[in-house]
């Protein structure tokens, strides 16, 4: 009816091709994991919602109230569908009672997908563990080197203190011996060391 009012020839091929596409898509979706099928439907509904909003603006610009009213109804319907699919996805993710259930074929496909991807997931987790272990070993090595450096610094300081203490004791002993032996015989004036 609207096509005739706009001066256009009705399109008979689009509905037929749309039905064939829908049949093909539903067959493919039965082979997809359940959550992937829902995500695909959600993406399609979001695209249809965007188009309905665009149509609303075009109809308003063309001052076509009948098309504008249709576009608003489409916008409401697609908004509700997006919300419903989002809720079903959330219920599926939480393991709660979902409004939709996966078909046996989807469950089998989902299990096969998980089994096929298991080696990849295992390898990825192994690499992540190895990187984490290497990081921990690196941090441990940095800590060990830092501790060894601190010990060496403390040891060097203690060795310096021992050397200074030993030198001072040797000088005192030498002064004592020099006084007893009469240090003035070499022509040197003896002066006690300052402590």
pLDDT band at 145, cuts 50/70/90?
Answer: confident
pLDDT surpasses 90 at 89: no
pLDDT of residue 171: 76
pLDDT at 52: 95
Does pLDDT of 33 surpass 60? yes
Spatial contact of 40 and 88, defined as CB atoms under 8 Å apart: no
pLDDT at 186 over 50: no
Task: Give the integer Cα–Cα distance in Å for 172 and 194.
Answer: 10
* Span of 5-9, 38-42, 108-112, 148-152 with lowest mean pLDDT: 5-9
What distances in angstroms separate CA 11 from CA 28, 59, 70, 151, one per listed residue?
27, 20, 19, 88
Distance CA 102, CA 98 (A): 10
Average pLDDT over every residue of 118-128: 75
Is residue 69 pLDDT above 90, yes or no?
yes
Pick the residue with more confidence: 183 or 115?
Answer: 115
Percentage of residues of the chain with pLDDT beyond 90:
23
C-alpha to C-alpha distance for 185 and 66, rounded to whole angstroms: 130
The average confidence (pLDDT) of the chain is 78
* Range with the poorest average pLDDT among 93-97, 103-107, 146-150, 159-163: 103-107
The first and second tokens of residue 30, run together, are 């039965």
Tell whether the model's pLDDT for residue 61 goes beyond 90.
yes
What average pLDDT score do residues 43-63 get? 94
**Can you say whether the dihedral through the CA atoms of 18, 23, 29, 34 is positive or negative?**
positive
């Amino acid at each position: 009816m609207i096509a005739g009012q706009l001066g256009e020839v009705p399109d008979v091929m689009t509905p037929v091709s749309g039905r064939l596409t829908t049949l093909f898509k539903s067959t493919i979706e039965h082979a997809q994991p359940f959550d992937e099928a829902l995500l695909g439907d959600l993406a399609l509904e979001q695209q249809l919602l965007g188009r309905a909003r665009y149509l609303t603006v075009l109809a308003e610009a063309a001052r076509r109230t009948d098309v504008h009213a249709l576009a608003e109804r489409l916008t409401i319907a697609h908004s509700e569908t997006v919300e419903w699919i989002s809720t079903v996805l959330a219920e599926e993710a939480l393991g709660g009672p979902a409004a939709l259930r996966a078909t046996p074929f989807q469950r089998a496909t989902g299990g096969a997908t998980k089994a096929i991807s298991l080696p990849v997931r295992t390898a990825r987790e192994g690499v992540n563990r190895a990187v984490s272990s290497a990081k921990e070993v690196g941090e441990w090595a940095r800590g060990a080197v830092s501790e060894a450096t601190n010990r060496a610094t403390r040891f060097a300081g203690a060795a310096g203190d021992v050397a200074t203490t030993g030198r001072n004791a040797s000088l005192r002993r030498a002064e004592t011996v020099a006084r007893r032996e009469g240090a003035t015989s070499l022509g040197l004036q003896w002066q006690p060391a300052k402590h």
